[in-house]
Chain A
Amino acid sequence: MAAGAVAKPMDPESVEALAAQEFARIVETHRPQIFRFLLSSTRDVDLAETLTQECFLKAHRHWGQFRGDSTAMTWLMRIALNLEKDHWRNRRLQFWRQTRTNAVDLDEASEWLPSGERSAEQKLLAREQVKKVWKVVETLSDRQRRVFLLRYVEEMELSEIAQITGLSEGTVKAHLSRALARVRREVGGTR
């Protein structure tokens, strides 16, 4: 390029193509994690799949508004969390509609424990413990459950959780502490 040459502005089609490419990459990277969070939160495969689709649809619509203040993952997780909240709110309002859910029971959810190098007895004990954790998660408040799952399933930092949930870090810590205390009580109850 000759010295002093002005960079040519990109034409709109190229900008759109680049944005689409970038978004496709974001979907590919983060979709499994969003699906996992929604699956653990709802224990309903179909619902998690639907909400994941909605999440990326919404993200695609508002992709231009994403300023990059937070990571794409945090932004997407926040959308997913809001969609889940909306879903349950709508379900409560539409109580006359189908009340049955496709959520799998705790036994089935605990069956997915990888066997690893454990004896049959150890596997059985581990499965029982996982079932207990599921049981506690089921009884936690919405906020506690979300914070707990983001921390112990998605392994997110407290600051990220605070950004996603819109709570302060102190509140996140408090919710997490209460949730953990209940899990500890349940898991330690076998002793």
Chain B
Amino acid sequence: MTFDKRNSLEATEAELQQALQDFRQTVHAWSEAEYARPRSVQSVAARHTWKWALTWAMGCVLAIGGLGAGLYEHHQQQAAKGNETPQQQQMTAAAAQSAAPEVNAPVKEVPAQEATEMDASLLAAVDSDVSRQVPSEMEPLAQLMESEVSR
């Protein structure tokens, strides 16, 4: 082993020993500082209390949210039912009308009578108009038709 190499090894060994000594001193100093530091049990208890409070708060929020969502959904369903009611009533009324026409018959009777009368008066007016509008050349023919009808 050369002198330089031996010197180098010795230096490395010295460096290692110094590093180990520093490491030991570091751990001792850290441990002493932490050991001397006052610790309170309250901090742990407070942390647990805080955790419990947070858990309860989260639970309450979830419960209230769930309940609110349920109520909202229920309300929406009720509102939808309320909107459908008039349509359903109309449909029911229409079905009832078609199912029982005799009930509505007297109601329809009046317009039919009127219509018949109107038809009759209209036909009379048309007859008179037509009769008036028959040209004079057609008079013999009209008389002939009347005579045929009377026979």
Binding site for B on A (CB under 8 A): 32, 35-36, 39-40, 45, 48-49, 109-110, 112-114, 126, 129-130, 132-134, 152-153, 155, 180, 183-184, 187-188, 191
Contacts of B33 in A (CB 8 A): 112
Q: Is B132 in contact with chain A by the CB < 8 A criterion?
A: no
Interface of chain B, helix or strand or loop or mixed?
helix
Contacts of B12 in A (CB 8 A): 184, 188, 191
Minimum Cβ distance to chain A for residue B28 (Å):
7
Minimum Cβ distance to chain A for residue B106 (Å):
82
Contacts of A153 in B (CB 8 A): 23-24, 27-28
- Contact of B20 with A183 in the complex, beta carbons under 8 Å: yes
- Contact of A114 with B19 in the complex, beta carbons under 8 Å: no
Q: How many A-B residue pairs have CB under 8 A?
A: 77
Minimum Cβ distance to chain B for residue A50 (Å):
10
Name the CB-closest residue of A to B31.
Answer: A36
A129-B24 Cα distance, complex, nearest whole Å: 12
Binding site for A on B (CB under 8 A): 8, 11-12, 15-16, 18-20, 22-35, 39
Minimum Cβ distance to chain B for residue A67 (Å):
29
